[in-house]
Structure 1
Amino acid sequence: MPETEGDDDVLRVEHVSKRFGAVTALRDINLHLRRGEVLGLLGDNGAGKSTLMKIIAGFQNPDEGRIVVKGEQVSFRDVDHARSLGIDCVYQDLALVNELDVVQNMFLKRELVSRPIPLLARRVMRERTREALERIGINIPRLDVPVARLSGGQRQAIAVARTVTSEADVILLDEPLAAMGAKEGAMILDLVQQLREAGEVSIIMIAHNYVHVLQSCDRVNLIQGGEITFDKPTADTSVEELNEIVVEEYRRARRAAQAG
């Protein structure tokens, strides 16, 4: 049984559908996120997770349904509009510019300007970049190198640090552990735990590892075939239960394919 929506919901997705030509990526999606909650979103590749994130982040528009942010229905014009309403995202493709250095990517389209003379506050941005990376425990010795020269884990860390140090009320993490080694991944999970304990932001985190979700999140949603089929507090579920649901859906789909 899906969790009940409440007055403390900072975000609601109601009856959202999205099609790409003949392919239906999302069908009648209903999702809600409470203030200060960490929601884990699980699902196989192609289930619709990233499409849903892009809609919530203002990158794409739904074909049907609506988005409600802090009790107000919104229709995002673009990513900047969503960000102005307190929603920020770490995309799976990271949204970094390879030719720009670490500091420039950290403040991409968020540049700090000194006053009264409108000049870029380069020293302040550099200091804040170093502080943000140290906060999540990632060491990048040089901040003046193009990010194309960094490792996958370092690039992922920049994208995560940029988002979690923003003024967002809702943070979307689209597979934040991708390209990271075990040590770096553990640091990101520790950061999510810190944010969860502080309760100042709400988070939706896409992940493939059931254990990570059960350890780091308050509630879990499972998306299958473009629909959310499971919604339960992590304290009331288990890896075995999630595996059972996924296996049963695989068997159902296989029977349907054989019958067709």
Structure 2
Amino acid sequence: MTIPGRDSRSTAATELAALQGIQGRNLNMGTGYLPDDVLGDVLNEVINVPGDFAEVGVFQGALFKRLVAVAQVLKRTAHAFDSFEGMAEPTARDAGKYPKGALSVGGKERFRQIIQHSVDRHRQLAHAAHQNVGALPGDIRNDAFALWDGYVPDCLTKCPVQQFSFIYIDLDHHDPTAAALEWAWPRLAPGGILGFDDYFPGRERLASPPIDAFLDQQYRDLRLVHFANNQLFIRKRGNAAVRRSVA
């Protein structure tokens, strides 16, 4: 994963930091909502890659609702991994950020209600034919998503699925991010995409250090897909997928 014009011996983290600088990005800028066009481009990359979708750390479901909608079209399942009751206890590597219980959605059943409401809305739009939602009303399933509750790594071990085409990790804390990476990479299909939120190359706290270490260990087996607004997407090298649009 080499940026043109840079020393090939540079670490992956160094290269990504340089790319962010080339693109005029500020390492201290905040993250936020993943734009629909970016998500669409990323998911178009995995149309012909086998496997379900996963998001590890879903908060209130802004991204997960969209993963479920695409899963409906592609006849896959979107998996949400979260305590649904907020953050675990931070460690010294988290510099006191996000205390236990922060960012709670109110429990697993509350999150299920949020996602089911989104599925019902998807079905209503399909019936009304007000817009192209990519699926016929009868094809929109209530079982297009699965929820796995608990802190990482416990919630991950509950899921029997062994192959994913898309995995997004948004855990903020250091140790859960490291554990999620250890779980995710072997289960990501060749050609699949792994995404991260809150990635600040070279930062020495929270989620960034385990991501840096992972990139340096695996850089020969991945390529950069997208990096902006501290949101990173990489593809696992393997058989190239033929792209088509999910729109």
- TM-score, structure 1 as length reference: 0.31
